[in-house]
Amino acid sequence: MTKPAVSSYYALLPAAGVGARMAAGSPKQYLHIAGKPMLRHTIDAFRSSPLIAHTYVVVSPDDPYIDALVPPEGVTVLRCGGATRMESIRNGLRTLHGSVAAGDWILVHDAARPGLDAELIERLIVETGEHPAGGLLALPVVDTVKRSVAGEVATVSRDGLWLAQTPQMFPYQLLCRALDAATDPAAITDDASAVEALGLAPKLVEGHPRNLKVTLPADIRIAEIYLAAFRTEPKPTSE
């Protein structure tokens, strides 16, 4: 793969959540996996990619953990996190106004997906290309899907079904417009759904199972297994 000749790419990591389902003593993005905090794995994935111009991490204004975790170069902490993921992303995008161009690309990535690496980032950027509606990593559904409603069970066709992952990548101006137009936060389950609500169709780029979202305690061991097999080293810096 070769680097496409387009605008700059910036990573935006919303990390203001508390991870209630993890039932841990600290927000789940700071739990240690394979020897370092989960959020540091995601940061290092973007630092390992020469395609990413800069990484921004959105945290709550009173976050007590982030300063000890963030490397001194290539990453900026934005203390503007909101009550929801969508609010944190909106606030982060507003903070970036004037620092990025309208046509620059924003890669929004879940802090709790530590299995990302430079190869997946490159795949997303190259295969999305200049698709006007952006793109996202996703996995085609391979298992049989069942729907259960009021005790009634039915098999659902898996044809055309995908499981969305992150990063999800969109032009800065488009992502701002899509999130500002979202009037029903419950209907916007990811950034792509906000873009879809504008009548656009983001491109699906096949991801990898290692890019799973750590949500429950059992997910930590699965993530550690993947991380042991796919090590990501940050690109050289002067630190």
> Which CATH number do you get for residue 114?
3.90.550.10
Three-class DSSP category at 118: helix
Asked if residue 117 belongs to a domain, the reply is yes
Which pLDDT does position 18 carry in this prediction? 65
pLDDT band at 17 (very low <50, low <70, confident <90, very high): confident
User: Over pLDDT 90: what percentage of the chain?
Assistant: 81
Which pLDDT does position 207 carry in this prediction? 98
Cα–chain-centroid distance for residue 231? 19
Q: Which residue range(s) make up the domain with 158?
A: 9-229
pLDDT in tens, 69-125: 999 899 999 999 998 999 999 999 999 999 999 999 999 999 999 999 999 999 999
Which pLDDT does position 23 carry in this prediction? 47
Asked if residue 58 belongs to a domain, the reply is yes
Asked if residue 148 belongs to a domain, the reply is yes
Maximum C-alpha span of the chain: 60
How far is it, in rounded angstroms, from Cα 115 to Cα 105?
A: 22
pLDDT in tens, 190-199: 999 999 999 9
Tally of domains in the chain? 1
pLDDT band at 24 (very low <50, low <70, confident <90, very high): low
pLDDT in tens, 139-190: 999 999 999 999 999 999 999 999 999 999 999 999 999 999 998 877 889 9
Task: Please check whether residue 68 is in contact with residue 43, taking contact to mean a CB–CB distance below 8 angstroms.
Answer: no
Asked if residue 181 belongs to a domain, the reply is yes
Asked if residue 239 belongs to a domain, the reply is no
pLDDT band at 11 (very low <50, low <70, confident <90, very high): very high
The secondary structure of the chain in percent helix, strand, coil, rounded to multiples of 5, reads 30, 25, 45
Average pLDDT, the chain: 91
Which pLDDT does position 183 carry in this prediction? 82
Q: What is the CA radius of gyration of the chain?
A: 18
* Omega prior to 64 cis, within 30 of 0: no
- Name 55's bridge partners: 11, 75
